[in-house]
């Protein structure tokens, strides 16, 4: 199963790279981005982690894309992972989540100077087959040729047609906290 996930991730990354223009200058990539979410209620906390996120950042234009293989999320309990994949996110039907957007105030991020910069990111987030426009604040930390990007957001499950059965409605938050942490390196 792990080989299939790795192959799918490689193919997805290849398609993402092909969809960009041929100019590779200023492209930073990661195949090990980390996305995690937390659903907290009075009854239960559920955390899922995925450290196989593929992403490309074009430093000259601010274009930013990422792709997440949904089955790659890991949980503390196997039953949570099973329910996530089969009942809520239907990962056989909707195998990945994607984001395609850009840094809207690119001048606020000085890629040629080490430092930490706040920026606005806007684009289309697709989860569970539903695409929504999102606008979020992100932090970019430049150190040499590497750039770290971090962003936190809330995802309202109903906005992405993710339904929670009545029997567990008190155990799953209506909006989950989603965190992203990507370490970009120059494309080789």
- Tens of pLDDT, residues 53-91: 999 999 999 999 999 999 999 999 999 999 999 999 999
Note the residue count of the chain: 188
Residue 158 is encoded by which pair of tokens?
Answer: 């109903």
Rounded to two decimals, what is the model's pTM?
A: 0.85
CATH number, span 2-20+27-186: 2.40.128.110
Decide if pLDDT at 160 tops 90: yes
Q: Are 128 and 176 in contact (CB under 8 A)?
A: no
Report how far Cα 114 is from the mean position of its chain's Cα atoms. 24
| Max CA pair span of the chain | 53
């Amino acid at each position: 199963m792990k080989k299939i996930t790795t192959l799918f991730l490689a193919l997805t990354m290849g398609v993402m790279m092909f969809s960009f223009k041929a100019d590779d200058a200023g492209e930073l990539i990661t195949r090990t981005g980390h996305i995690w979410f937390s659903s907290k209620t009075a009854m239960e906390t559920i955390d899922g982690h995925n450290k196989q996120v593929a992403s490309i950042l074009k430093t000259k234009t601010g274009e930013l894309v990422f792709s997440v293989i949904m089955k790659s999320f890991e949980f503390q309990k196997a039953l949570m992972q099973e329910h996530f994949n089969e009942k809520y996110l239907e990962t056989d039907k909707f195998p990945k989540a994607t984001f395609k957007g850009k840094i809207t105030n690119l001048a606020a991020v000085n890629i040629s100077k080490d430092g930490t910069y706040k920026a606005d990111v806007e684009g289309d987030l697709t989860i569970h087959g539903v695409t929504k426009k999102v606008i979020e604040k992100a932090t970019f930390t430049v150190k040499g040729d590497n750039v770290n990007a971090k962003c936190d957001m809330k995802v309202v499950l109903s906005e992405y047609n993710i339904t929670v059965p009545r029997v567990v409605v008190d155990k799953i938050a209506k909006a989950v906290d989603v965190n992203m942490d990507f370490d970009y390196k120059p494309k080789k």
